[in-house]
């Protein structure tokens, strides 16, 4: 069998995928049950920071770190081959393994929150009210060093079996992407406050 997917180990390419996504799936095991939970994340240098509140609720003790698998998947398109068997998806997916540790240092926590906000909405951090000490304490952030990280990518056209190209079946790619619709102003937000560019022109 052909495998039009390829594995990627180049950090530049892996970091590009991580920087485009903003929701990861965090996997961990408690009492021999695996859990997978969606949560927000941001890469800062060679580390990935992710919101740990869901993880914290399920784990009694995070002080020694927690073994995790963080997976980020970007969906790029549907691959419609002439045969059902060769149908596929174009996607880019990163898997990072390791021990995640709880971030306790307030400045590092603040930097992580800054990265969460700014990677999606550049400029929002300075517009919004920034976290106070109490909020910072109430926020649980986990950090994973990106040492054991790889990506899997499928790009490009349909791949059919040689004899199937003669079939009169439409074949091709349906490109998919995440888009934003017009922002919906909060009912209690004064109409004289202009909609910021990061909301009106949101793009991934």
Binding residues among 104-163 for a second copy as defined by CB under 8 A = 113, 117, 120-121, 124-125, 127-132, 135, 138-139, 157-158
* Nearer of residues 47 and 100 to a second copy, judged by Cβ: 100
Q: Is 99 in the site for a second copy (CB under 8 A)?
A: no
Work out how close the CB of 105 gets to a second copy at its nearest, in angstroms, rounded to a whole number.
18
| String of contacts with a second copy for each residue 162-181, x by CB under 8 A | --xx-xxxxxxxxxxxxxxx
Applying CB under 8 A, among 95, 101, 108, 111 the residue interacting with a second copy is 95
Applying CB under 8 A, among 12, 34, 63, 107 the residue interacting with a second copy is 34
Q: Cα–Cα distances in Å, from 147 out to 49, 98, 115?
A: 14, 8, 20
Q: Cα–Cα distances in Å, from 59 out to 10, 48, 138?
A: 33, 20, 16
C-alpha–C-alpha distance, residues 154 and 6, integer Å: 6
Work out how close the CB of 177 gets to a second copy at its nearest, in angstroms, rounded to a whole number.
6
Q: Is 16 in the site for a second copy (CB under 8 A)?
A: no
Q: What angle do CA 143, 8, 92 make, to 5 degrees?
A: 75
Span from 7-15, 20-28, 42-50, 99-107 in contact with a second copy (CB under 8 A): 20-28
Give the residue carrying structure tokens 């390419």.
Answer: 13
C-alpha–C-alpha distance, residues 103 and 116, integer Å: 14
Find out whether 50 and 40 touch, Cβ atoms under 8 Å.
yes
Applying CB under 8 A, among 19, 20, 23, 58 the residue interacting with a second copy is 23
C-alpha–C-alpha distance, residues 106 and 103, integer Å: 8
Q: What angle do CA 129, 131, 135 make, to 5 degrees?
A: 135
Helix (H) or strand (E) holding 127: helix 124-127
* Nearer of residues 11 and 204 to a second copy, judged by Cβ: 204
58-87 positions binding a second copy, by CB under 8 A? 67-71, 73, 75, 78, 80-85, 87
Q: Is 1 in the site for a second copy (CB under 8 A)?
A: yes
């Amino acid at each position: 069998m052909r495998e039009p997917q390829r594995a990627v180990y180049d950090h530049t390419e892996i970091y590009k995928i991580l920087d485009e996504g903003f929701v990861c799936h965090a996997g961990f095991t408690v009492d021999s049950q695996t859990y997978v939970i969606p949560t927000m994340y941001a890469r800062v240098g060679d580390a990935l920071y992710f919101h740990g509140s869901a993880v914290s609720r399920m784990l009694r003790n995070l002080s020694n770190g927690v073994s995790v698998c963080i997976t980020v998947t970007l969906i790029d398109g549907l691959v419609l081959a002439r045969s059902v068997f060769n149908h596929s998806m174009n996607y880019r997916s990163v898997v990072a393994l390791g021990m995640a540790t709880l971030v306790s240092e307030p400045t590092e926590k603040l930097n992580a929150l800054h990265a969460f906000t700014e990677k999606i909405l550049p400029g929002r951090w300075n517009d919004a009210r920034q976290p106070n000490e109490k909020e910072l304490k109430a926020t649980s952030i986990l950090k994973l060093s990106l040492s054991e990280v790889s990506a899997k990518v499928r790009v490009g056209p349909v791949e059919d079996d040689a004899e199937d190209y003669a079939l009169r079946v439409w074949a091709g790619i349906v490109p998919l992407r995440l888009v934003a619709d017009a922002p919906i102003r909060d009912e209690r937000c004064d109409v004289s406050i202009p909609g910021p560019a990061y909301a009106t022109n949101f793009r991934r």
